[in-house]
């Protein structure tokens, strides 16, 4: 039963379904892997930026707090000794300057007016500055007073030139006790912007990150940006806060070359993805295509098989009905010819008798041919029915020998029957068909024999429970190269071109089919000019 592929794959696209599923699967898996890889690269890059930024931030924070801490010492001194002279102030200032590189100057402003300064040289312009009257610095100064906190302002342009962060620390007389006491004024220190940046590593050309800082006047993320390029804050930066005594700054950093786009691994993944698609999907598409072609091929084969079967059936039906239609009038011709020959009232003349004999011989041949064709048609249509029964082989062989003996007589051929007279052998066969087989073999043994030749019949049991009946003649024989043709339909073997042969080449084909349908075997041995032995083997039956 041919596989009904069209039922398994009712639609053409279904053939490619496994390939499509594999393609989508690989694509999704690949994209997922790429996303994971990108995430990994991004995380690594951010971790490295965080690391670098933290280093700079730590230095910056330490520098600012270090500066403030030093000034706080001076504030504590003034709180105890509010009437500090410029000389004493300068002594303490120089002490502070010995330890620090970023403080530009320190000023003391009792009642918010700058009266003391260290170093004086270069900062003279600031002496006498009244914070209350200076619009640029007033708010920050008052804030420090009111919040009672250090306020780090700036960076601002300095009166004495340059830029600086100004740390203003409010001083309360007698502070250090529980009651801070009355407001004395401010101690202001200017931290040099450039120096602070350099010492904190912000301007290091070897820094692998771009940094920006915002939070002018310690306003944190809300304050204006005062360091770095403006694009840093908009470039998805890593953020870090610098906590100041009052308020904060916000730092932002991105890698100098920008964030990584595509990693090397990503390119490899693309290649692997492509290779996977090629290695898995392409063969699947080809397999699908082949399967589809096979399906079409099977369809075609089935169609041609059906039409061949139809044609064969039509042929067999035609042959069967034609043979039947031919046999009826043929039998009538033969019957009337016989009646003419043996009519006692009007016996035919010698000449008429010979004509009638010719009609009968020709008719007999034609009838045999029609019978053979009918059998062949039935075999091909698988409609040959057999009636297998237990038979005494000896009787049937004797009957067939008797039926063909007269044919041999006309050519002086002698029969040596060593079988029928022997012990009875039983076999399983269809009686009529067994006779047909034996008659065909015997008539061939006569037909292809020499004048005055012999036909020898033998029977013997063989291994495997068979009865072998062999018919040996002393005729023209069959050449070895022609052996293959003997059982083929319509094939006649020309052993001796000088010997006229009659026949159609159907008899042995039908005989072989009949023997095999009776679970038997048929074969022959032959030698040109010496003769042939044709044998059949049929299943033996017990007595
Ligand atoms: P037919 O006898 O009608 O030609 P068969 O099928 O019976 O057809 O035989 C096929 C051919 O085999 C014969 O034509 C003949 O050439 C060869 N053949 C059959 N039997 C013999 C035999 N006993 N001796 C020699 N040739 C034979």
pLDDT (tens digit per residue) in 197-219: 999 999 999 999 999 999 988 88
Element (H, E) at 469: strand 466-473
Q: Which of 127-136, 283-292, 368-377 has the highest mean pLDDT?
A: 127-136
Cα atoms in the 13 Å half-sphere on the side-chain side of 541: 14
How far apart CA 57 and CA 44 sit, in angstroms, is 20
Distance 506 CA to ligand 1 centre (A): 9
**pLDDT (average), residues 71-78:** 86
- For a mutational test of ligand 1's pocket, the pick from 372, 437, 484, 486, i.e. the residue with the most ligand atoms closer than 8 A to its C-beta, is 486
Residue closest via CA to ligand 1's atom 3 equals: 503
Confidence of residue 2 (pLDDT cuts 50, 70, 90): very low
Contact 136, 106 (CB under 8 A): no
Question: Can you tell me the distance from the alpha carbon of 263 to that of 445, in angstroms, rounded to the nearest whole number?
Answer: 93
Mean of pLDDT over the chain: 86
When pLDDT is cut at 50, 70 and 90, the band that residue 371 belongs to is: confident
For residues 256 and 74, what is the distance between their CA atoms, to the nearest angstrom? 41
Q: Cα–Cα distance between 286 and 272 in angstroms, integer?
A: 21
Q: Directed axis angle between helix 507-517 and helix 350-380, to 10°?
A: 50
User: Is the dihedral angle over the CA atoms 349, 351, 357, 363 positive or is it negative?
Assistant: negative
Q: 310 or 498: whose pLDDT is higher?
A: 310
Going by alpha carbons, the residue nearest to atom 16 of ligand 1 is 493
Q: How far is the CA of 441 from the centre of ligand 1 (A)?
A: 9
Split at pLDDT 50, 70, 90, the class of 516 is very high
Task: Count how many residues are written for the chain.
Answer: 543
Q: Pick 126 or 115 by higher pLDDT.
A: 115
**Which atom of ligand 1 is found nearest the CA of 504?**
3
The two structure tokens encoding residue 311: 């044609």
Q: Whose CA is nearest to atom 14 of ligand 1?
A: 492
Alpha-helix residue ranges (DSSP H) falling in 342-422: 350-380, 393-409
Question: 444 CA distance to ligand 1 centroid (A)?
Answer: 6
DSSP class of residue 218?
A: G
Question: What confidence category does residue 525 fall into, taking pLDDT thresholds of 50, 70 and 90?
Answer: very high
* Whole-number pLDDT of residue 431: 96
SS3 of the chain: helix, strand, coil, percent, to 5? 50, 20, 25
CA distances from 266 to 36, 263, 493 (A): 10, 5, 79
Query: How much distance in Å is there from the Cα of 493 to the middle of ligand 1?
Result: 7
Q: Which residue is closest in CA terms to ligand 1's atom 2?
A: 503
Domain extent listing, the chain? 389-539
- The pLDDT confidence band at residue 499, using thresholds 50, 70 and 90, is low
pLDDT in tens, 150-189: 888 888 887 667 788 989 999 988 755 555 678 899 999 9
Chain position carrying tokens 């870090």: 240
Determine the topology of domain 389-539 in CATH.
Heat Shock Protein 90 (3.30.565)
Residue 534 alpha carbon, nearest atom of ligand 1: 23
Kindly state the tokens that stand for 532. 């042939």
pLDDT > 90: what percent of the chain? 45
Show the tokens assigned to 26.
Answer: 């690989």
Cα 420 from Cα 227, distance rounded (Å): 130
Confirm if 536 and 510 have CB atoms less than 8 A apart.
Answer: no
Residue 29: pLDDT over 70 = yes
Q: Alpha-carbon Rg of the chain, whole angstroms?
A: 63
Structure tokens at 150: 């250090």
DSSP string, 409-468: HTTTPEEEESSTTSS--EEEEEHHHHHHHHHHHHHHHHHTSPTT-EEEEEEEEETTTEEE
Q: At what angle do helices 431-447 and 393-409 cross, to 10 degrees?
A: 30
Task: Give me the pLDDT at residue 208, please.
Answer: 93
Task: Return d(Cα 441, Cα 459) in angstroms, integer.
Answer: 14
pLDDT band at 41 (very low <50, low <70, confident <90, very high): confident
What was the pLDDT predicted at 11? 58
Q: In the β-sheet with 454-462, what is the strand arrangement from edge to edge?
A: 414-417, 454-462, 466-473, 531-539, 521-527
Nearest atom in ligand 1 to the alpha carbon of residue 531 is: 24
Which one of 470, 477, 505 would you pick to mutate in the ligand 1 pocket, going by the greatest count of ligand atoms within 8 A of its CB?
A: 505
Q: Which residues contact 419 (CB under 8 A, 6 or more apart)?
A: 393, 394, 397, 457, 458, 459, 469
Buried b (16+ CB within 10 A) or exposed e, 506-537: bbbbbbbbbbeebebbbebebeeeebbbbbbb
**Ligand 1 pocket residues where CB is under 6 Å:** 440, 444-445, 448, 473, 475-478, 486, 492-493, 501, 503-509, 532, 534
pLDDT confidence tier of residue 31, bands split at 50, 70 and 90: confident
- How many Cβ atoms are within 10 Å of 11's Cβ, its own excluded? 8
Q: How far is CA 180 from CA 143, 152, 219, 245, in A?
A: 17, 21, 27, 18
3-state secondary structure of 206: coil
């Amino acid at each position: 039963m041919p596989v009904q592929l069209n039922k398994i794959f009712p639609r053409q696209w279904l053939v490619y379904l496994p390939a499509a599923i594999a393609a989508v699967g690989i694509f999704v898996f690949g994209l997922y892997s790429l996303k994971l890889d990108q995430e990994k690269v991004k995380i690594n890059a951010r971790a490295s930026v965080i690391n670098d930024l933290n280093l700079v931030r730590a230095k910056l924070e330490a520098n600012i707090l270090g500066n403030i801490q030093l000034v706080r010492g001076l504030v504590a001194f003034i709180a105890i000794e509010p009437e500090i002279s410029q000389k004493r102030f300068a002594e303490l200032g120089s002490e502070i300057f010995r330890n620090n590189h970023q403080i530009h100057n320190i000023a003391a402003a009792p009642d918010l007016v700058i009266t003391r300064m260290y170093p004086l040289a270069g900062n003279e312009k600031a002496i006498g500055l009244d914070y209350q009257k200076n619009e640029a610095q007033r708010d920050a100064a008052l804030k420090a007073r009111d919040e009672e906190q250090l306020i780090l302002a700036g960076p601002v342009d300095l009166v004495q030139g340059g830029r600086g962060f100004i740390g203003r620390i409010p001083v309360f007389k007698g502070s250090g006790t529980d009651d801070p006491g009355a407001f004395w004024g401010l101690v202001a220190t200017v931290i040099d912007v450039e120096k602070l940046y350099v010492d904190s590593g912000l301007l290091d050309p070897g820094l692998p990150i771009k940094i920006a800082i915002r939070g002018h006047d310690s306003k944190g993320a809300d304050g204006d940006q005062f360091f770095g390029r403006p694009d840093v804050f908009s470039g998805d930066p890593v953020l870090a806060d610098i906590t100041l005594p009052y308020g904060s700054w916000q730092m932002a950093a991105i890698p100098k070359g920008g964030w990584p786009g595509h990693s090397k691994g990503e390119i490899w993944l693309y290649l692997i993805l492509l290779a996977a698609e090629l290695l898995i999907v392409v063969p699947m598409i080809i397999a699908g295509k082949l399967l589809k072609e096979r399906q079409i091929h099977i369809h075609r084969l089935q169609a041609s098989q059906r039409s061949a079967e139809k044609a064969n059936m039509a042929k067999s039906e035609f042959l069967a009905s034609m043979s039947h239609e031919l046999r009826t009038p043929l039998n009538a011709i033969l019957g009337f010819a016989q009646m003419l020959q043996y009519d006692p009232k009007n016996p035919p003349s010698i000449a008429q008798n010979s004509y009638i004999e010719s009609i009968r011989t020709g008719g007999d041949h034609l009838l045999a041919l029609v019978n053979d064709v009918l059998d062949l048609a039935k075999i091909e249509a698988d409609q040959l029915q057999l009636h297998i029964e237990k038979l005494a082989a000896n009787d049937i062989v004797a009957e067939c020998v008797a039926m063909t003996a007269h044919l041999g007589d006309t050519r002086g051929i002698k029969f040596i029957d060593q079988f029928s007279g022997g012990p009875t052998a039983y076999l399983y066969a269809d009686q009529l068909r067994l006779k047909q087989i034996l008659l065909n073999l015997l008539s061939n043994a006569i037909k292809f024999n020499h004048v005055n030749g012999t036909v020898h019949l033998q029977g013997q049991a063989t291994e495997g429970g068979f009865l072998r009946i062999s018919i040996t003649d002393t005729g023209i024989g069959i050449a070895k190269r022609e052996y293959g043709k003997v059982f083929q339909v319509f094939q006649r073997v020309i052993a001796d071109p000088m010997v006229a042969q009659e026949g159609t080449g159907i008899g042995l084909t039908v005989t072989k089919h009949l023997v095999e349908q009776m679970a038997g075997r048929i074969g022959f041995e032959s030698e040109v000019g010496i003769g042939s032995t044709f044998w059949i083997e049929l299943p033996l039956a017990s007595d």
